[in-house]
Structure 1
């Protein structure tokens, strides 16, 4: 499982790096203003669905069911299940896309009600929604194919698929943005084109393994109906963070101009460690947990969860420290060119720091959720998800109202989301322990101390190596990236060396395979 996780992490890393290149290109060519606010509001919807389906809820509901058919059903029965699932998903996805195109103004009003005050901004956002919404149907079918491949142990193609979105958007901005009267349209159309390419990428691998579905009407199949019903609560429980980010966008639309863009860039940076680790571990671990559950091996089930949580702790805490202390260096190095000014760096760094505080909770929740869905328990995480979303809405609204006069309104939204993420993961962890599903072994206290000390050493070094913002502003791109790279490398070496000096060894992270 470690090798598969490393492969998925490496390919996800490539996609995330390309995502930063994409955002740097957007910031350089388009800056942060009315047009980008309109696009980011529109892009939130299909991008939210990408995270939902490609990295979350669909696989949580589908993979355990497919694993059951794979291990216990005949080949014709398995084929019929895949065909009917493909047919049902196609109908749902196309219908939802068509409804969304018709209701585009209502969607903009829902996700950015503050835009109603500006007729031009509201109209542009509505057009962007209609252009990007076909991605909904495309990513749904792409996620279906990717989940099939993951269940059968083929992780590479699904893991590289998100990179196509970034490559397509980069090419569109560089190649077409400055040739159009309204450059933002290049971004809008690139999203739909990317969805087509991502779906096409799955087909050869599915065909080569004899797994390519032939869509059939599937709503009369009890298994398909049951799985589709499970997707509903799983969408909410899997996507607490994404829903909270959308709520922040809604509230942010009432704040000063640029708030939506500052929140977007902050979310993008936080999503780097969250997506890299959460997706890699979750993608590989869910089929493993499903097999443990099918084999009625509770010990292997608990050990898998424990291994994943230890990896989360060792990676998430230093990521939090690094993002908080390196917020401005990252923003200067990646985005502060041409249209993205010093004020944008300052404001984005505030929301980045508050978002980063929730990284451990965001990642841990993805891992812990698999402990429920692999056992077909969708109600428990659903209840906790509703609680976390309600907490975020209340905390973010109150904090933003109080902090807005100080220029920290958008940053307060990030703090509310972090508190909700930590609460959600805490509730999931306590429930798994109380039910006896997860039995933490000895050694957690020592691991926490080692990690905290190593993070402290790393943080002190990063603070020492970080010059004043004026220096970052005066440096050219190569100098910024070089110094940022040296800071990250030095911090990582210090962290790992400290862990080694405190006695942490690879054997402490070993996982025994399922018998």
Structure 2
């Protein structure tokens, strides 16, 4: 294995570790919120208000900043570090100005913004949403600047801190829930919003220390006329939309869900935390680690090789994730959220959303990797075009499944909510096929072999069926908490999946097994 390949794989592991730590604390945060708010009106309001900072953080962090800034900055730094520092200074200054204006406008036009993102809210629910959004807006600016830190640090292959920094954001919300409680649900939601603002300060602050050595030569400047800066800016809007398509779709999902029954937005939020985990943990880690390498690659064969390897690695993890959502979604929801005001019925509601989301999970993660290859080729226009197609299809189908169809065909409210996720899955499949076809004209990469995919799917189906049986067989053991039964069932699923993929001689499974064996103490 070459030194560059080892560095890329090491970077992917570090990114994955940072994201995993962040997600684990995020799960704990959501479990705390579910315990105190469940699927009440206050939970809907808090979840809707959080859409805004989450949208902007994901767009600027994993979206436009990564796709437009990192390739230019990383390539320039290899040739002239001083020029790279000047470009970073200008981009940082422009981001600061932009976020200041954004925060000011957000505070001035909060009622109109709430009516835009949650048009179905009225009365006390609408007023509570306005209050929460106003509290959260100062933290949004800090999260955008945090994304700039992530871009610079990633360019220098410093991955762990920027991807683990959201741990502090979640930790602040958790601490607020424990130490600043209120018997009134809406007041408690306000306290949680203040905790999110404090967490934004902490998330930005923790990245300043590793960023400090690279600040030399970065000066505040709004001189946007240099060629590298203009290159970043011209790629910014297309990459902003194409890379953030999942977040933008979630934004519109929240609008549609605001017209559905109480708890719809909350359940979508709980489900989203689960179904975006594989995308973030595996898709982001591989894409982020390879983006720098592919941006400086001299030959397209190198991009093709990285892309083919990445698609195999993603499939190894995403196939079992999708099948677990389809067959064990209620188990996963029970493990993470079933406590306090979050009931078993709520877990089954989340399961329906996860099952619908599972159909497009593979396409979404593979599409993210293909989009990264386009950015390495300095092509932001093609992903932008197809992301417009995806968002349009997603919005139209979501409105049809959730708002129009229930009027002509009586379906349960939970199925109407799951229709939003189904629409997103179908739109993601369309986007993936368009991306793959377009990239194949420029890069000769290999598609996943049918035998390889078949081995993964069969192994995951057998593992999931066994885990499902174990979970429901243990229901008679009422003394065992549901989350313990759930963890055991998921453990059975994972063990069988890994075992069968070893039997089928899947390369990625064998590599994982060998890595574990090397870490075990040797017997003499």
Q: Distance in 2 between matches of 1:432 and 1:102?
A: 44
Write the mapping of 1:25-174 to structure 2, written as runs, cut at 5 A.
25-73=32-80, 75-115=81-121, 118-174=122-178
What is aligned with 1:206? 211
Q: Does 1:422 align with 2:426?
A: no
The answer on whether the counterparts of 1:85 and 1:218 sit within 8 Å (CA) in structure 2 is no
What is aligned with 2:300? 298
Give per-residue Cα distances to partners, 1:334-357, cap 9 Å, x unaligned: 222221123322322211211222
Q: Secondary structure at the match of 1:183?
A: helix
Measure how far apart 1:506 and its partner are.
Answer: 4.6
Q: Does 1:6 align with 2:13?
A: yes
Q: Distance in 1 between matches of 2:62 and 2:94?
A: 20
What is aligned with 2:449? 444
Measure how far apart 1:290 and its partner are.
Answer: 0.5
The answer on whether the counterparts of 2:307 and 2:445 sit within 8 Å (CA) in structure 1 is no
Q: Does 1:486 align with 2:488?
A: yes
Q: CA RMSD in A?
A: 2.1
Q: Does 1:402 align with 2:405?
A: yes
Measure how far apart 1:286 and its partner are.
Answer: 0.6
Q: Distance in 2 between matches of 1:468 and 1:128?
A: 44
What is aligned with 1:463? 468
Unaligned 5+ runs, structure 1: 511-515
Taking structure 1 as the reference length, the TM-score comes to 0.92
Q: Secondary structure at the match of 1:86?
A: helix
CA 1:211/1:18 → structure 2, altered by over 3 Å: closer, same or farther? farther
Q: Distance in 2 between matches of 1:284 and 1:8?
A: 7
The answer on whether the counterparts of 1:46 and 1:132 sit within 8 Å (CA) in structure 2 is yes
Q: Distance in 2 between matches of 1:175 and 1:30?
A: 16
1:226 to 223, 231, 250: 231
1:22 to 21, 29, 40: 29
The answer on whether the counterparts of 2:282 and 2:314 sit within 8 Å (CA) in structure 1 is yes
Q: Distance in 2 between matches of 1:77 and 1:312?
A: 36
What is aligned with 2:5? none
The answer on whether the counterparts of 2:327 and 2:465 sit within 8 Å (CA) in structure 1 is no
Q: Does 1:239 align with 2:244?
A: yes
Give per-residue Cα distances to partners, 1:205-254, cap 9 Å, x unaligned: 11134558332223344432331232111111111221111111111111
Q: Distance in 1 between matches of 2:345 and 2:446?
A: 46
CA 1:155/1:120 → structure 2, altered by over 3 Å: closer, same or farther? same
Write the mapping of 1:303-318 to structure 2, written as runs, cut at 5 A.
303-318=305-320
Taking structure 2 as the reference length, the TM-score comes to 0.90
Give per-residue Cα distances to partners, 1:418-442, cap 9 Å, x unaligned: 1111221221111111x2314217x
CA 1:459/1:212 → structure 2, altered by over 3 Å: closer, same or farther? farther
What is aligned with 1:386? 388
Give per-residue Cα distances to partners, 1:366-425, cap 9 Å, x unaligned: 111101111221110111001111111111111113247322110111100111112212
Q: Secondary structure at the match of 2:379?
A: coil
2:275 to 258, 267, 270: 270
Give per-residue Cα distances to partners, 1:258-316, cap 9 Å, x unaligned: 11111111111111212111221121011011021xxx221111101111111111111
Q: Distance in 2 between matches of 1:165 and 1:498?
A: 39
Q: Secondary structure at the match of 2:341?
A: coil
How many residues are aligned here? 499
Measure how far apart 1:508 and its partner are.
Answer: 8.9
What is aligned with 2:322? 320
The answer on whether the counterparts of 1:87 and 1:218 sit within 8 Å (CA) in structure 2 is no
CA 1:463/1:236 → structure 2, altered by over 3 Å: closer, same or farther? same
Write the mapping of 1:331-410 to structure 2, written as runs, cut at 5 A.
331-400=333-402, 401-403=404-406, 405-407=410-412, 408-410=415-417
CA 1:209/1:83 → structure 2, altered by over 3 Å: closer, same or farther? closer
Measure how far apart 1:463 and its partner are.
Answer: 2.6
